[in-house]
């Protein structure tokens, strides 16, 4: 007899393409049928069949305080009781903007939007409007949402114009995007020497989280900052994932690099749809209605989502919050490395802040090419072995994981016990 989740998945496929509203949820990368979830609390999820899981996806990042935190739920309920949406200014929008400007070093002004994709799309338009240039540069393996200019993969050779990575993206649009190798300093230097005066912006995840977790090499972010400054290009840090995860002020605070524009999402919505683009006042004042760069959104600054974000940021700001969650994440990574070593499995794991990466290779990767060398099939078997033991990791070998403040010693110990058995089964 099919489980309730399997029955729901069959129903979903009748009316929703592939049965899901975001591709990775379909379990296409790992095989099998996805659990359908009904509720969550703290570090735990419950599926439609009543099974309980320790969650290391955290809605792909925003649940840094844990699921259904009482302070966040109370704030959402209070806001919803007043109005679900105004389509007009509210004081809470101002408070959220003030909080982000205070916490994120480079942000002097910001515009709230409704998603990370909208934030990065707006940032690129702002960069082009500010510089009067057309070319943008991004890095293979970094994901910045599904705007046309960003769904571009590397061309056939170094420093070539990109190719569309999705049907529906015109080659003419992709031709304006240059794709480089993450952590390749000589390639960055060469790009700017050849095309520096044509480049409107460079957009990068300062810590990559969408090709699994890949840390920047020493000097890489500094080189981006130096070259963008020298050639008049706008440096955009996509901190949708890293914002308030790798440090209170994001990756830019941790690494001491000030981008010109920053995109945010996930944590600033506390689990509800919010994004933001912010940065230097000079650039931000190019946005409508002050300037010629147009952007608008009916639900931008939605009062319920803003309330969730404000409540979450207050928790994140609490004393020792970042240190405590980082320590928990490190204990998870250390334990997984230890269990794999005992089982003589070629495996490595690393973390930064409350983000972590799992790799079936001897050392953590530093490039997209090294990520692709990981043993994907072994990851898939490990994923399902852990899922069967009540541990919910991201259903893809190419996604980072997340720990919340609700994860504690009992959850880590249960995870490592499951890992011990799962590694043995491999």
Count of alpha carbons within 13 Å of 76, Cβ hemisphere only? Answer: 15
DSSP designation for 2:
-
Q: Residues 62, 69: contact at Cβ < 8 Å?
A: no
Task: Determine which one of 143, 231, 255, 398 is catalytic.
Answer: 143
Backbone angles phi, psi at 52, to 5 degrees: -110, 140
Tokens in use for 395? Answer: 């259903």
Active-site hit among 53, 55, 266, 359: 266
User: Is 153 marked active-site?
Assistant: no
**Any catalytic annotation for residue 294?**
no
Question: Residues near 94 by Cβ (< 8 Å), separated by ≥ 6?
Answer: none
Separation of first and last alpha carbons in the chain: 28
CB neighbours (10 Å) of residue 305? 26
Is 238 assigned a catalytic role?
yes
* Residue written as token pair 């060469």: 190
Dihedral of CA atoms 17, 22, 28, 29 in degrees, nearest 10, equals 160
Tell me phi and psi for residue 106, to 5 degrees.
-90, -5
- Phi and psi torsions of 180, nearest 5°: -115, 170
Task: Choose, from 47, 184, 238, 260, the residue flagged as catalytic.
Answer: 238
DSSP sequence for 189-207: HHHHHHHGGGEEEEEE-SS
Query: What Rg, from alpha-carbon coordinates, does the chain have?
Result: 21
Catalytic residues: 143, 238, 266
């Amino acid at each position: 007899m099919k489980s309730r989740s399997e029955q729901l998945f069959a129903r979903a496929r009748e009316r929703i393409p592939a049965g899901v509203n975001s591709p990775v949820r379909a379990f296409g990368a790992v095989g099998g049928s996805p659990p359908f979830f009904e509720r969550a609390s703290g570090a735990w999820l419950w599926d439609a069949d009543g099974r309980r899981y320790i969650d290391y996806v955290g809605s792909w990042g925003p649940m840094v305080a844990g699921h259904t935190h009482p302070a966040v739920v109370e704030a959402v309920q209070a806001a919803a009781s007043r109005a679900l949406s105004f389509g007009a200014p509210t004081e809470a929008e101002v408070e959220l903007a003030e909080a982000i400007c205070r916490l994120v070093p480079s942000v002097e002004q910001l515009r709230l939007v409704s998603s990370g994709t909208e934030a990065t799309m707006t940032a690129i338009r702002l960069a082009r409007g500010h510089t009067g240039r057309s070319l943008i540069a991004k890095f293979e393996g970094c994901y910045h949402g599904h705007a046309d200019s960003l769904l571009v993969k590397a061309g056939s050779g170094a420093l070539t114009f990109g190719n569309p990575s999705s049907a529906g993206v015109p080659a003419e649009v992709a031709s304006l995007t240059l794709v480089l190798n993450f952590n390749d300093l000589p390639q960055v230097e060469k790009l700017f020497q050849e095309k520096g005066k044509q480049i409107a912006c460079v957009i990068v995840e300062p810590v990559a989280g969408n090709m699994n977790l890949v840390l920047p090499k020493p000097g890489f972010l500094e080189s981006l900052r130096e070259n963008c400054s020298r050639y008049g290009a706008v440096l955009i840090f996509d901190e949708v994932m890293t914002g308030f995860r790798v440090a209170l002020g994001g990756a830019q605070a941790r690494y001491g690099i000030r981008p010109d524009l920053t995109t945010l999402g996930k944590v600033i919505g506390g689990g509800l749809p919010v994004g933001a683009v912010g940065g230097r006042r000079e650039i931000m004042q190019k946005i409508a209605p002050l300037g010629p760069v147009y952007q608008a959104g009916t639900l931008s600054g939605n009062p319920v989502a803003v309330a969730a974000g404000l409540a979450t940021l207050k928790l994140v700001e609490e004393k020792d919050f970042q240190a405590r969650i980082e320590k928990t994440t490190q204990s998870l990574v250390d334990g997984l490395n230890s269990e794999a070593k005992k089982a003589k499995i070629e495996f490595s794991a690393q973390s930064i802040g409350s983000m972590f990466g799992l790799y079936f290779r001897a050392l953590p990767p530093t490039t997209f090419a090294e990520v692709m060398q990981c043993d994907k099939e072994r990851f898939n078997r490990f994923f399902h072995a852990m899922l069967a033991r009540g541990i919910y990791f991201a259903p893809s070998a190419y996604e980072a994981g997340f720990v919340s403040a609700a994860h504690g010693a009992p959850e880590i110990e249960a995870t490592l016990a499951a890992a011990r058995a799962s590694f043995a089964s491999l």
